[in-house]
Amino acid sequence: MQSLELKKRDLYLNRLIDQQDNGKLKIITGLRGVGKSSLLFLMEKHLRARGKSVDQIVYINFQPLQRILKTPEKLKEKLSELAPKEGHYYMFLDEIQIMNGWQDVVNEWMKTQDVDMYICGSNRSILSEELDAIKEDNYAQIVMLPLSLPEFIEFNGFMKVEVTQSLLDKQQHPMYRSSINDRIYTLEEVYDLYIKYGGLPILFYVGLEMDRARIAVDGAYCSIVYHDILEVQKSSGQRLITDPILLREIIAVLTEDIGQVVSYTSVGKQLIREGFLNAGKRKSAPAPRTIEAYILALCDAFFFYQVPRYDMKNETFLQTLDKYFLIDVCFRNYLFGMSNDVNRQTVLINKIYFEFIRRQYDVCVGKNGMQNIHFIAKKNNETLYVMVEDEINERNIQKKTAVLRRLDRDDRKVIIAWKCKPQMTKSGIQIVNAMDFLMEQAL
C-alpha cells in the first residue's frame, strides 16, 4: 500500500485561497470522499506557510461528535473552547450540517467573531437557507468533484514519455509510462482505466488493483448511503428513505442510461419490468412520489446531478423529465459489475458534463423543437451549444453538425468528439477532441 500523503488539488486550493479573508462564508460541497477534508488540510498548510500560527487555525470534524454535542449550546461551548480569545483566526468546520441548530451558531459566529470561516458538507443541507450568508448572498461555494483526468494521471504515477517522431505522427496524444508496472499506455488507454477505476482520491492509496479498489469504493458507497442519505433523512424527521435495497435498484435504473430523460413513473415500471426488486419484499412498483424522494435524496448527497431541460423556442425551463448524471461512472462498475455493453458515448457525455461543472459553467440540456442539444453551457457572458459525438470524419461531418447548424443563434457552437480532427467548420462550428477537452484544453 502506498504511503499516506496529502496530494495537492491545486484547482480547488487556489479557488479557496482567492476567497481568503474576504468576509464571506466559504462553503465547500461535494460527494463524501472527493477530498473536502483534505482541501481544508491543504488550506491550513497554506496558512501556516504564510506565517499564521497554530493558535489562529481551528479545525473540527463533527462526524465523531454528533452524539456528544447534541444541542446548539453544546456546539457553541465547543467552538468557544477551541477559538482563540483575541485576534483574527480561521475556523474550519467539517460536516457541521449534521449538528442540531448549527445554522444559528454559524450565524452568530460570523457576526460576533473576528473569524474567516470555512464549512464543508457532503449533503446539500449545508446550503441551508437558514444561514444569513445564504440569505444575504455573502458566501462563496466551492464545488469539489472526483479527480479530473489530469489529476488521475498525476495521482496514479503516470509519467509522460518521449516517443519517436514516427510514433508521434501516428498518435494524436502523448503516451504515459506507469510507475506501477512500467508499462507504456496511450492517453486513450489511461482514460479507459480512469473510467474503470474512477476518480475517488482514496483509490490513490490502494493502487489500480481491482479487488482492493472495489472494497474501497464499496466502503465509500456504504458511507454515503448511511451518513448522507439515511442519517440525514432520520435527523430531518422525514423518514422517506428507509429501504437501502430500493435505493440501490433506483441507482441501477438511472445508471443504465446515464443522462437520459427520467420520469418517476417510468423508473417504477422499469424496476418491476427488469426484476430489480426481486431481492426485496416489494411486488409492485413504488409510488412516483416515493421514487422522486429517493432520487432527490441521491442528488442531495451529490451522487447524481439533476440537470434541467431548456425549451429554446419558448425560452423557458421545462418542469418535468430532467436528466441525471452520475458523479463517477466507477460506482456503476463497482455496484453492478463491468459490462462490455456500456455505451462509450453515454459515459463520455457524463464526463463532459462534469468537466463543464469543474470549469464553473452553468449547464442545462437544450430542447430545440424535436432536436436535443446535449448541453447549453454558460459562464460569465459566454454561451456554448455543445453536442458530444463518438466520431467526426469527412464522411459524416455534415450529418453530425446538422443539429447545431439549424440553431438560429449567434453564440458559439461546439462538437466534442472521441475521434476527430480538431477544426473549425465553414459554418463556424468548432470540432474539439474529447481527450483534449478532458485534459483541460481551453475551448
pLDDT digit string (tens) for 93-123? 999 999 989 999 999 999 999 999 999 999 9
Residue 11 has pLDDT above 70, yes or no: yes
414 and 299 in a common domain: no
Q: What is the DSSP letter of 172?
A: S
In contact, 75 and 102? CB cutoff 8 Å: yes
pLDDT for 367-406, tens place per residue? 999 899 999 999 999 999 999 999 999 999 999 999 999 9
Q: What is the CATH number of the domain that holds 81?
A: 3.40.50.300
User: Of 414 and 245, which is predicted with more confidence?
Assistant: 414
In this structure, the strands spanning 139-143 and 25-29 are parallel
- Split at pLDDT 50, 70, 90, the class of 359 is very high
Q: Among residues 307, 342, 377, which one ends one of the domains?
A: 342
357 and 337 in a common domain: no
CA distance 19 to 209: 38
CA distance 328 to 401: 29
228 and 314 in a common domain: yes
Residue 316 has pLDDT above 60, yes or no: yes
186 and 125 in a common domain: no
Render the burial of 229-257: b for 16+ CB within 10 Å, e for the rest.
bbebbeeeeeeebebeebbbbbbbbbbbe
CA distance 148 to 11: 10
Instruction: Tell me the percentage of the chain whose pLDDT exceeds 70.
Output: 93
Residue 197 has pLDDT above 90, yes or no: yes
The continuous run of DSSP H or E covering 251 comes out as: helix 244-256
pLDDT recorded at residue 271? 87
CA distance 420 to 434: 9
- Nearest 5°: the CA angle 43, 8, 224 is 85
335 and 232 in a common domain: yes
Domain limits at 191? 149-205
367 and 252 in a common domain: no
333 and 218 in a common domain: yes
Highest mean pLDDT among 279-293, 303-317, 339-353: 303-317
Question: Over the chain, what is the mean pLDDT?
Answer: 91
154 and 110 in a common domain: no
411 and 374 in a common domain: yes
Nearest to 155 by CA among 12, 7, 273: 7
pLDDT recorded at residue 166? 58
Q: Among residues 286, 307, 342, which one ends one of the domains?
A: 342
Q: Is residue 1 part of a domain?
A: no
For residue 235, the one-letter residue type is: S
Residue whose C-alpha cell reads 481491482 in the numeric block: 210
Q: Is residue 261 part of a domain?
A: yes
The strand order across the sheet containing 184-186 reads 158-161, 175-178, 184-186
Backbone angles phi, psi at 442, to 5 degrees: -70, 145
User: Of 310 and 336, which is predicted with more confidence?
Assistant: 310
242 and 287 in a common domain: yes
- Split at pLDDT 50, 70, 90, the class of 148 is very high
Q: What is the CATH number of the domain that holds 395?
A: 3.40.1350.10
Q: Is residue 322 part of a domain?
A: yes
- Split at pLDDT 50, 70, 90, the class of 126 is very high
pLDDT recorded at residue 112? 95
pLDDT recorded at residue 225? 93
pLDDT recorded at residue 2? 38
SS3 169: helix
Q: Is residue 236 part of a domain?
A: yes
pLDDT recorded at residue 234? 80
Q: Is residue 360 part of a domain?
A: yes
pLDDT recorded at residue 3? 40
pLDDT recorded at residue 242? 85
Q: Is residue 303 part of a domain?
A: yes
pLDDT for 55-77, tens place per residue? 999 999 998 887 788 889 999 99
Q: What is the CATH number of the domain that holds 295?
A: 1.10.10
Q: Is residue 215 part of a domain?
A: yes
248 and 291 in a common domain: yes
Residue 165 has pLDDT above 70, yes or no: no
354 and 273 in a common domain: no
Q: Is residue 161 part of a domain?
A: yes
pLDDT for 321-350, tens place per residue? 999 999 999 998 887 776 555 678 899 999
Q: Among residues 143, 165, 186, which one ends one of the domains?
A: 143
CA distance 38 to 164: 40
Can you give the pTM of this predicted structure? 0.94
For the chain, how many structural domains are there in total? 4
